[in-house]
Amino acid sequence: MRRVLRVLVVLLLAGCAPAPPGTPVTGPATAGPDTAPSSPHTSAPAAVEVHLTCTTGNPDAPCVFRPADVSIRAGGTVRWVNDDATYHTVTSTGSLARRVPDGRFNAILDTVGATFTYTFTRPGGYPYYCQPHAEFMTGTVHVL
């Protein structure tokens, strides 16, 4: 199992292939893939990384997803990385206005270096937020 995870991480980092749909790299999480076929004809990257940090220097938004909005191609992956010891979640929602979990994914990243990876196969916008910091810690994955 560890060897399979190592191979997946190497391939993901090398940009050769995305992780299998819904495969978390580490950390407790619930995840499931989208089910539509992917579109290979986009210029968006196949994989991006988003960092969770509470070192913004902004008292109105002390914690953020950096970058908050990312674009990937269908079939691509997003990897979220916790950069500090603050308890965070990466929780999908149907609307940033309501910020209610929609069940697509919900990961807990509660230690420095904790990660969560999700593969998006269907084009569209996928808003997400951090439950403990929902007032100011939000983002959107745009799948092309």
Q: Domain of 76: which CATH number?
A: 2.60.40.420
- Residue 12, both tokens: 């993901």
CB proximity list for 134: less than 8 A, separation 6 or greater: 99
Distance CA 128, CA 101 (A): 8
Pairing of β 138-143 and β 69-72: parallel
User: Does residue 8 surpass a pLDDT of 80?
Assistant: no
Q: What is the pLDDT of residues 68-120, one digit of tens each?
A: 999 999 999 999 999 999 999 999 999 999 999 999 999 999 999 999 999 99
Q: Domain containing 27: what range?
A: 2-143
Number of domains forming the structure of the chain: 1
Measured CA to CA, the distance from residue 20 to residue 9 in angstroms comes to 11
**CA distances for 54 relative to 28, 48, 88, 92, 132, angstroms:** 21, 20, 10, 20, 12
pLDDT tens-place string over residues 11-23: 333 333 333 333 3
